[in-house]
Amino acid sequence: MKEITNYQNQKVLVLGLAKSGLSAAKLLHHLGALVTVNDGKPFESNPAAQELLENGIRVITGSHPIELLDEDFALMVKNPGIPYSNPLVEKAQSLNIPIVTEVELAYQISEAPIIGVTGTNGKTTTTTMIGLLLNQDRNKGKAYLAGNIGFPASEVAQKVVANDDMVVELSSFQLMGTQEFKPHIAVITNIYEAHLDYHGTREEYVEAKWKIQQNMGSEDYLVINWHTEELRQLASTTQASVIPFSVEEKLENGAYFEDGKLFFLDEEIMSADELGVPGLHNIENALAAIAVAKIKGVSTVSIQQALSHFNGVPHRTQFVGNIAGRKFYNDSKATNILATEMALSGFENQKVVLLAGGLDRGNSFDELVPALSNLKAVVLFGETKDKIAEAAKKANVKTIILTDNVETAVPLAFAESSEDDNILLSPANASWDQYSSFEIRGDKFMQAVKQLEK
User: Does residue 61 sit in the same domain as residue 190?
Assistant: no
Residue 313 within a domain: no
Quick one: what percent of the chain has pLDDT higher than 70? Answer: 98
Residue 265 within a domain: yes
Structural domain total, the chain: 3
User: Does residue 127 sit in the same domain as residue 70?
Assistant: no
User: Does residue 281 sit in the same domain as residue 417?
Assistant: no
At 120 the pLDDT is 87
Q: What is the pLDDT of residues 57-70, one digit of tens each?
A: 999 999 999 999 99
- Among 100, 115, 146, identify where a domain stops: 100
Q: Is 441 exposed, middle or buried (0-12, 13-18, 19+ CB in 10 A)?
A: buried
Range of the domain at 378: 318-452
At 374 the pLDDT is 94
* 86 — pLDDT class (breaks 50, 70, 90): very high
User: Does residue 185 sit in the same domain as residue 248?
Assistant: yes
Q: Is 135 exposed, middle or buried (0-12, 13-18, 19+ CB in 10 A)?
A: middle
Residues, the chain = 454
Q: Which residues are annotated as a binding site for ATP?
A: 119-125
User: Does residue 137 sit in the same domain as residue 218?
Assistant: yes
User: Does residue 182 sit in the same domain as residue 152?
Assistant: yes
Contact 232, 248 (CB under 8 A): no
Contact 388, 365 (CB under 8 A): yes
Whether pLDDT at 198 is above 70: no
Q: What is the pLDDT of residues 211-258, one digit of tens each?
A: 999 999 999 999 999 988 889 999 999 999 999 999 999 999 999 999
At 195 the pLDDT is 61
Q: What is the CATH number of the domain that holds 391?
A: 3.90.190.20
Give the amino acid at 179: Q
At 323 the pLDDT is 96
User: Does residue 358 sit in the same domain as residue 384?
Assistant: yes
> What mean pLDDT do residues 149-174 have?
95
Q: Which residues are annotated as a binding site?
A: 119-125
- Among 100, 123, 139, identify where a domain stops: 100
User: Does residue 282 sit in the same domain as residue 335?
Assistant: no
Residue 264 within a domain: yes
User: Does residue 323 sit in the same domain as residue 254?
Assistant: no
User: Does residue 331 sit in the same domain as residue 354?
Assistant: yes
Q: Is 172 exposed, middle or buried (0-12, 13-18, 19+ CB in 10 A)?
A: buried
Residue 2 within a domain: no
- Among 280, 308, 336, identify where a domain stops: 308
* 196 — pLDDT class (breaks 50, 70, 90): low
Mean pLDDT, the chain, whole residue set? 95
At 193 the pLDDT is 64
Residue 3 within a domain: no
Residue 73 within a domain: yes
Q: Is 138 exposed, middle or buried (0-12, 13-18, 19+ CB in 10 A)?
A: middle
Residue 4 within a domain: no
Q: What is the pLDDT of residues 224-236, one digit of tens each?
A: 999 888 899 999 9
Q: What is the CATH number of the domain that holds 259?
A: 3.40.1190.10
User: Does residue 109 sit in the same domain as residue 150?
Assistant: yes
At 9 the pLDDT is 97
**Residue bearing the bigger pLDDT, 198 or 298:** 298
Q: Which of 27-41, 282-296, 333-347 is predicted least confidently?
A: 333-347
Q: b/e map of 217-256 (b: 16 or more CB within 10 Å)? A: eeebbbbbbbbbebbeebbeebebbbbbbbbeeebeebbb
> What mean pLDDT do residues 87-93 have?
96
Rounded (5°) CA angle 277-380-278? 10
Whether pLDDT at 27 is above 70: yes
At 314 the pLDDT is 83
User: Does residue 422 sit in the same domain as residue 329?
Assistant: yes
Beta strands in 134-266 (DSSP E): 143-147, 165-169, 185-188, 221-225, 241-246, 255-258, 261-264
Residue 334 within a domain: yes
At 194 the pLDDT is 58
At 313 the pLDDT is 82
